[in-house]
């Protein structure tokens, strides 16, 4: 009778066979090429580089917001195998400057009751639904944009300077929510100019050098 493998070893083998949550190969934007980048479920990778090196364009290309040649897979499924709106819901992008289309905050949230606890953790009470977009400060837009993104429960988060306009208290709240999503298995790429934040949140750091992003760390 065969002896079963110790469960820890079996788990490790199953883990090794699982595709990375996000996998990027040969993705070309106007300014940079991502040769190879894998992000596992529950992993956060910090993407750094000088201003104008192309970090935002890479996130937008992965999110399929700009056309870009190359291969991007979610749990092994090519982005071309699903409608673009489905991809963008699963692979969520938070722009450094969030976009708003309706007059008031509430119109941007499909399920206010479900989102209220999230919005509260980011410092707002229920009155926020009636606020006009025109009155929002930069930091309020950033926090509400983050809440709007999380409300869709994406499996990948592409965060472009998510706390760039926030005070330390709000930054702590956003980082706590990021950590919780990681615990839920979300894969995250974080663009930040804040080296302390990159060190706090991410063990793996990739940098744009000479227009190339190479995944030095590999898949853990």
Residues of this chain that interact with ligand ATP (CB under 6 A) are 30-31, 49, 51-57
Nearest CA-CA partner of 18 in 1, 40, 35: 40
Q: Which is nearer to ligand ATP, 31 or 77 (CB)?
A: 31
State the minimum distance, in angstroms, from the CB of residue 117 to ligand ATP. 31
**Cβ atoms within 10 A of the Cβ of 107, count?**
12
Closest CA to 149 of 123, 188, 201: 188
Between 25 and 30, name the residue whose CB sits nearer to ligand ATP: 30
Shortest distance, position 92 Cβ to ligand ATP, whole Å: 17
Using the minimum distance from each CB to ligand ATP, give the nearer residue, 66 or 179. 66
Task: Supply the minimum distance, in Å, between the C-beta of residue 213 and ligand ATP.
Answer: 11
- Minimum CB separation from ligand ATP for residue 141, in Å? 16
Residue placing its CB nearer to ligand ATP in the complex, 41 or 158: 158
Shortest CB 53 distance to ligand ATP, Å: 4
Beta carbon nearer to ligand ATP, 75 or 194: 194
């Amino acid at each position: 009778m065969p002896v079963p493998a110790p469960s820890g070893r079996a788990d490790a083998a199953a883990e090794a066979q699982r595709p990375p949550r996000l996998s990027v190969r040969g993705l070309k934007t106007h300014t940079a090429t991502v040769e190879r980048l894998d992000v596992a479920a529950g992993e956060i990778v910090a993407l750094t580089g000088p201003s104008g090196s192309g970090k935002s364009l890479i996130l937008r290309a992965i999110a399929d917001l700009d056309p870009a040649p190359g291969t991007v897979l979610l749990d092994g499924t090519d982005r071309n195998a699903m409608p673009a709106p489905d991809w963008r819901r699963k692979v969520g992008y938070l722009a450094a400057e969030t976009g708003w289309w309706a007059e008031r905050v509430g119109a941007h949230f499909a399920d206010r009751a479900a989102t209220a606890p999230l919005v509260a953790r980011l410092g707002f009470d229920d009155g926020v639904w009636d606020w006009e977009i025109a009155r929002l400060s930069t930091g309020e837009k950033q926090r509400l944009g983050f809440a709007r993104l999380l409300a869709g429960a994406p499996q990948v988060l592409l965060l472009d300077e998510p706390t760039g306009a926030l005070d330390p208290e709000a930054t702590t709240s956003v980082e706590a929510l990021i950590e919780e999503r990681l615990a839920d298995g979300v894969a995250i790429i974080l663009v930040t100019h804040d080296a302390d934040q990159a060190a706090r949140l991410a063990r793996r750091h990739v940098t744009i050098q000479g227009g190339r992003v190479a995944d030095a760390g590999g898949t853990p």
